[in-house]
A = this chain, B = another copy of it.
Amino acid sequence: MVTKEALATFLAAEFPQSKATVEALGKDSATVRHRVGVDELRPGGTVSGPVMMAVADVALYSAILGRIGIVPMAVTTSLSINFLRKPSADADILGVCKLLKVGRTLAVGEVVIYSEGSDEPVAHAVGTYAIPPKRKS
């Protein structure tokens, strides 16, 4: 199956702006980390919403590619996120994705997002991806 290293190489090429990195990859799951520095913070000391959305997106993408193999054309079709608690300014953001369904044309997963070191999620997201049809060779 897809290794963490192969996925990291692919993501670096595909999402050159993303600061999220893959921490772990399971059969139906993936964990990604987003370092939190001054670029991620808002006044008052909290991580901006778009950073958490980006983490959710990369976590879902990683879990799906880990499962179906590296398919460059898989695209996010929807993402729905609830913000639950104020993230810490002093901790990295972790996104833990669990796939709910991987069908022939659609994959669905949920992502629980944490400030590292806390058990209480800061956000919860659900996303869907369209999987391109297999090409005949």
Contact = CB atoms under 8 A, between A and B. Distances in A.
Interface residues of A, number: 40
A14 interface: yes
Interface in A96-119: 100-101, 105-106, 108, 110
Interface in A61-105: 72, 75-85, 100-101, 105
A42 B58 CA distance: 13
Contacts of A54: 50, 53
A126 interface: yes
A82 B126 contact: yes
A48 B11 CA distance: 13
A5 interface: no
A121 interface: yes
Contact of A42 (B14, B80, B84): B14
Interface in A120-135: 121, 124, 126, 128, 130
A16 B108 CA distance: 30
Nearest to A124: B100
Nearest to A53: B53
